[in-house]
Structure 1
């Protein structure tokens, strides 16, 4: 249907206008606060489970991030599902609102096979993704600290966050393709091995390259998104520590 990311951009604006680029935004906008709250809370708890000492190694940070990612899937799965199903209404004149998509999904397939469709694919994606996410961020931050000391400038935090975001997608992208396909289709998945079945189907249809279709725009998206997420978290934490003394 498309020749590449730029063709998607041009056709979307041509058919749906500039606001078409923001289709599906309501779902993550409503859920992102809860998702990130759960993610960073789970990461803090996971760090203490992995080691009682505050200075973790990079592999230990990766393990804590993977544990946090598994917990994060509880909220991330439905948020992702409704975002993808909103975006999948491409070029339709009668696009449904988020509330309508939710009602239709619930009425047709219920909670397990509707709202939580693709949950295990989301778990499978989040474990390596957030392991790499936190490990990549911490690795870059420690490298900057060797040069600039403990109090890093904001640009260094942004750069470290970007590195974490890129690491996220490189660690999990084929699993994200599986998750997106499962959540977008009309029929619910069957069986417990649908992830491997879907991976084989993708390779059979388009070769191994199909497992990485859309990777470049995802990487471009991760640079500002992860940079803002980590920098905001670090600066907010420092502010709360100085304000509350805790």
Structure 2
């Protein structure tokens, strides 16, 4: 096999490894931690926690989340690892954090093409009454029929990007930094468990700092079509600040941080474990 063919084969395996590892990690996280996400969504809802369902039916919306988690995470990590690999060749070691930031931002934009319609169905099942559709398919049908594809299925797309990009700007450089310095600080080798710890800490920090953007995104996705068309992130956050103060801006802070801290541990841990298993099979 020529050098070029080996390079192509190696790159193809990296992409497939990222797709499979990311898919497994995303599916595990969404299924295991779904109830915490439901509680967070209901706390952030304009209807309030109790009127949105309280602790009842905390698995509502699991089906679209589970169906979309694997392809979303797979697409994210395939894009992230691909961009990181290509961009990393052109910069020095000291500039690598910027590569991680740009790669994560690009991956988030691509992943949101799947994530946003999934979030629409999931959050409406989590927090709204059944008039919006008893199933995810009915929710999507109602959204497209009443608002069209762009304003229905992709309502909140810009807000989601505004939440995810700052989140990734914080999370991924921290995750890469913690991994890079893990052995020097702890004196132990980097294992899937230590990668999980790095992911948990990085995710928790990023989740706490970006909670107001998550609150705004949730409000936009849950609003009716007339209210949503007049809403912007700044308008929503000003309204929340006026009505509920700083506490309202950080509604759902505890379950969000808990969810993403635990999710970071599961997500990055399973991602690393699956990648190692795939790489060991490839080397045989």
CA distance in structure 2 between the partners assigned to 1:208 and 1:120 by the alignment: 23
| Residue 231 of structure 1, CA deviation | 1.1
Question: What SS does the aligned partner of 2:263 have?
Answer: helix
* Alignment partner, residue 126 of structure 2: 87
| Residue 101 of structure 1, CA deviation | 1.6
CA contact (8 A) 1:173 1:211 kept: yes
Unmatched 5+ residue regions in structure 2? 1-38
* Alignment partner, residue 71 of structure 1: 110
| Residue 150 of structure 1, CA deviation | 7.9
Find 1:21's aligned residue among 47, 58, 61: 58
CA contact (8 A) 1:136 1:167 kept: no
CA contact (8 A) 2:132 2:139 kept: no
How many residues of Structure 1 are paired with residues of Structure 2 in the alignment? 235
CA contact (8 A) 1:42 1:68 kept: yes
Find 2:54's aligned residue among 9, 12, 15: 12
Find 1:133's aligned residue among 171, 175, 178: 171
* Alignment partner, residue 190 of structure 2: 152
Moved over 6 A (4+): 92-95
* Alignment partner, residue 261 of structure 2: 223
* Alignment partner, residue 185 of structure 1: 223
Q: Larger relative CO (CA 8 A, sep 6+): 1 or 2? A: 2
* Alignment partner, residue 143 of structure 1: 181
Per-residue CA distance 1:121-173 (angstroms, 9 max, x = gap): 01111111112221222222223221456842333122112112213313422
| Residue 177 of structure 1, CA deviation | 0.9
- Root-mean-square deviation (CA), in Å? 3.0
Equivalences for residues 113-124 of structure 1 within 5 A: 113-124=151-162
Normalization by structure 2: what TM-score? Answer: 0.73
Change (3 A) 1:47 1:142: same
Normalization by structure 1: what TM-score? Answer: 0.83
Per-residue CA distance 1:89-108 (angstroms, 9 max, x = gap): 36x69971222222222222
